[in-house]
Amino acid sequence: MKRIITYGTYDLLHVGHINLLRRARELGDYLVVGLSTDEFNTLKHKTSYHSYEDRKQILESIRYVDQVIPECNWEQKIEDIKKWKIDTFVMGDDWKGKFDFLKEYCEVIYLPRTENISTTKIKEDLAKRDNIES
Ligand code: C2G
């Protein structure tokens, strides 16, 4: 039973998120997602549209996701890996190298990001559309 973990905000869910979750899940048998809390998002200088509870419910409905845990800070990953008996840590390659310190605890894999989509792009495109229509 190979156990995978990944972390993120997962706001305004899009195919980039789904591609990451699917590929992460396909690396093993069980996928845990550390979902950034609203408070941690503030630390990441992010404000999500959906609340943590809504983002959690949305993630739990995805076939690739087996368990969602709160991501409250930058420091919890080693503890999470031990607590949830994780074999592999996965992130999109915008994070390449940033989590190599986890290699003494589990496998670390960075996957190519999906091009031309992001939560920021969605917000910007919608704002542009509003301007044109107003
Ligand atoms: N992602 C992707 N392709 C995109 C957009 C996002 O592969 N076009 C991946 C990111 O690389 C990340 C995951 O989807 O692995 C979630 O993205 P975000 O919700 O933006 O997560 P982020 O803010 O990067 O938080 O401790 C780690 C942080 O919580 C990561």
pTM to 2 decimals?
0.97
CA of 134 to the centre of ligand 1 (A): 32
The pLDDT tens digits of the residues spanning 9-35 come to 999 999 999 999 999 999 999 999 999
Residues within a 6 A CB radius of ligand 1: 6-10, 16-17, 20, 36, 44, 71, 91-92, 94, 113-114, 117-118
Confidence of residue 76 (pLDDT cuts 50, 70, 90): very high
CA of 133 to the centre of ligand 1 (A): 31
Q: Which residues contact 7 (CB under 8 A, 6 or more apart)?
A: 33, 34, 35, 36, 71, 77, 91
Q: Which of 10, 77, 91 to mutate to test the pocket of ligand 1 (most atoms within 8 A of CB)?
A: 91
pLDDT of residue 115 exceeding 90, the answer is: yes
Confidence of residue 134 (pLDDT cuts 50, 70, 90): confident
Neighbours of 26 (CB within 10 A): 11
